[in-house]
Structure 1
Amino acid sequence: MPVREGHRFDEASLAHWMSANVDGYEGPISVRQFRGGQSNPTYLVATPSRSYVLRRQPSGLLLKGAHAVDREAAVQAALAKTGVPVAQIFGTCLDPEVIGTMFYLMELVDGRIFWDATFPDVGTGDRPDYFRAMNSAIANLHALNPNQIGLGGFGRPTGYVERQIKRLSEQYMADTVAGRDPNMDRVIAWLDHARPRNPERVAVVHGDFRCDNLIFHPTEPRIVAVLDWELATLGHPLADFAYHAMMYRMPSHIVAGLAGADLATLNAPSEEEYLALYAGSTGIADTSDYDFFLAFSFFRLSAIIHGIKGRLARGTAASPEAAERVKALPELAELAWGQARRAGAPAS
């Protein structure tokens, strides 16, 4: 789509930067904007010889630690040396004077994005292969040794859950423009005391691993690029998997979800089968914290949507679909509290 009002920037300045910093660049450029991009505005930058994707921070007042596009580029550059499929990074610009915010450029990867977790455009006999591809991709990510791929300092090696709860709770409380939700308040009060029971594991975690953040091969059940690494850090792999597997309990009108779907008719694996496949691939024998991590995941997504609500109110939301996404916040917060009750939270 054409670049939206409020998301435009100096294209001549970008072209000048690319000429000095991107190997093989040959102008001129033309710029269009991708639909979506709830957090960071994303653009197609086309030249006569190739096309690039530009990801930038939104303009305006930003919450501390949010929209870390520099980290997003850094993790993809590190993962390019592994079997985890990512887009090639062509350059990162930390100077906000170039286009108004920091940004990075990556390759445009050809393929398919599925916005529906039922994979409706896939043949019934092939559908299990798409689920296996997702499961394998996140398991392969979690199998990597962060120190061996240059990401040992990408985050603190311990305390991931505690830090996430603290940071997201503080952001929720601080964003007075977005207001409060009683179910969010209940979940936060419970999470302040609840913790996983098993010893902490450390892996590179994606933070938002969903089918719509994956590019599949144009014709094969194979992932050619994992997108949207903004929330990546070092953390607990089972927590990251639970956020992905949250699709089994997520209504499809909120984000890509399978709640209420007839999995047998779809020929899709059950949640229990999907968890067992991941556990077998990663060697995580004890998954008894899975329900806790699901509650934590619903809280995380609720907090993220709450942040979008605040940006929408302040006029800095990146996506035109932000208002629709925010409408689901009360239902999502209610689901988060329901998952907390399932994980042992007392009635209140």
Structure 2
Amino acid sequence: MTTTDPRQATDAPALDLAVLAGVLRADGLAVDGVLGAVRVGRGQSNLTYLVSDEGGHGWIVRRPPRGELLASAHDVLREHRILAALGDTSVPVPRVLGRYVDPTLAETPVVVMEHVDGLVVDREETAHELDTSLRAAIGPSLARTLAAVHEVDVDEVGLGDLASRAPYAQRQLKRWSRQWEASRTRDLPRLDAMTELLRRRAPEPSSHDGRTVALVHGDFHLRNVILDPDLGDVRAVLDWELSTLGDPLADIGSLLAYWPEEGDGPTLMFAASALRGFATREQLATTYLEASGRDRADLDYWHALGLWKIAVIAEGVLRRALDDPRNAADGGPPAPEAIEQLVERAWAVAETAGLDR
């Protein structure tokens, strides 16, 4: 994920590396000498570090951000549980190595997992370096991987009690409306109006192969996967902190929301997928539906809700960065204009699909 030598990093990590070395050794991991850490990825939620020892061994370490946190957010212990449950399934995930609640290590829980090497397209300049054949392979691989996530039998892997099985749209609207009220930096009437539209048009829960709920990743997009640099296949799916039980179409809707395509025009979002050669949103949707055997009904609703939800998440990121600038990733927090643009895109999807009628 990075070629930086962590032992040369100057930004102090938000955990005690000497304590970490001790707990890793106590759990049977070989740690050679002192540890160093560098923050990796461009995620602006949980803090993620590549920790390396003097022998070149590396691990990924995650902990919640600094400062006051919203209720139920940034739950790395829940993420650890999900990754452990998926370890023997067909879903590609990093192997979890430890979970620690130790105030001498950090004031928050800390999770350690294996470092999966590969391609992370988290910067547009990275995407520019890829040839068009590799670009073309990435989107369909994401869609097929998402279908594999939704095929997991949650009861069989021990995740049947991960969350409520009540209608998912209503749960999402309740949760993220509450998050909006807790983190908003200003009034945004168009978002409030979209919230009411989504409440009014919430679909009935769907059923597939006798199951009414599936494991939902909750934040599945290009920057949350590690790819094979030659084939574009997904080697690992990351950032499971928002995972829950619900309607799987919500996940493909969110992937579409995170996926600008060529011809969309200027966007303030991460827009690597808009480069020539990347799949279109329709190609993603078609690949997912064919791989999963699911119906297209209500997909536009979940696409609009995905855009609305990303806007709420982005507002929370902005709030955390304003409260404590150390929480911002190297790309900086979202601009207020970017959040407003997401809301307008949600309206465009809803109006095109006739959801506003």
TM-score normalised to structure 1 length? 0.88
Please tell me the residue identity of whatever aligns with 2:80.
A
Stretches of structure 2 that go unaligned for 5 or more consecutive residues are: none
2:170 alignment partner in structure 1: 162
1:61 alignment partner in structure 2: 68
Please say if residues 253 and 302 of structure 2, whose CA atoms lie closer than 8 Å, have aligned partners that are also in contact.
yes
Distance 1:156 1:168, change over 3 A: same
Please tell me the residue identity of whatever aligns with 1:173.
E
- The reply on whether 1:224 has 2:238 as its aligned counterpart is no
Q: What secondary structure does 1:273 align onto?
A: helix
- The reply on whether 1:73 has 2:80 as its aligned counterpart is yes
- Equivalent of residue 321 in structure 2, options 302, 312, 321: 312
Give the Å deviation of 1:330: 1.6
Please say if residues 51 and 108 of structure 1, whose CA atoms lie closer than 8 Å, have aligned partners that are also in contact.
yes
- The reply on whether 1:103 has 2:107 as its aligned counterpart is no
**Counterpart-to-counterpart distance in 2, 1:137 and 1:236:** 16
Give the Å deviation of 1:126: 4.3
1:131 alignment partner in structure 2: 139
Distance 1:344 1:22, change over 3 A: farther
**Counterpart-to-counterpart distance in 1, 2:134 and 2:46:** 33
- The reply on whether 1:121 has 2:132 as its aligned counterpart is no
Distance 1:87 1:102, change over 3 A: same
- Equivalent of residue 153 in structure 2, options 142, 145, 153: 145
Pairwise CA RMSD: 2.5
Q: What secondary structure does 2:45 align onto?
A: coil
2:101 alignment partner in structure 1: 94
- The reply on whether 1:342 has 2:349 as its aligned counterpart is no
**Counterpart-to-counterpart distance in 1, 2:311 and 2:272:** 15
- Equivalent of residue 31 in structure 1, options 33, 37, 50: 37
Give the Å deviation of 1:55: 0.6
2:306 alignment partner in structure 1: 297
Give the Å deviation of 1:84: 1.1
- The reply on whether 1:274 has 2:284 as its aligned counterpart is yes
Alignment deviations for residues 95-143 of structure 1 (CA, whole Å, 9 cap, x no partner): 3442221110111111111234995433334443322211111111111
Query: Which 10-residue stretch deviates more, 29-38 or 125-134?
Result: 125-134
Give the Å deviation of 1:199: 2.6
Distance 1:106 1:84, change over 3 A: same
Please say if residues 150 and 215 of structure 2, whose CA atoms lie closer than 8 Å, have aligned partners that are also in contact.
yes
Distance 1:267 1:29, change over 3 A: closer
2:188 alignment partner in structure 1: 181
Aligned length: 339
Query: Which 10-residue stretch deviates more, 117-126 or 51-60?
Result: 117-126
Please tell me the residue identity of whatever aligns with 2:24.
M
**Counterpart-to-counterpart distance in 2, 1:238 and 1:35:** 27
1:41 alignment partner in structure 2: 47
Q: What secondary structure does 2:142 align onto?
A: helix
Give the Å deviation of 1:308: 0.9
- The reply on whether 1:195 has 2:198 as its aligned counterpart is no
Query: Which 10-residue stretch deviates more, 222-231 or 196-205?
Result: 196-205
Query: Which 10-residue stretch deviates more, 317-326 or 292-301?
Result: 317-326
Q: Which runs of 4+ in 1 moved over 6 A?
A: none
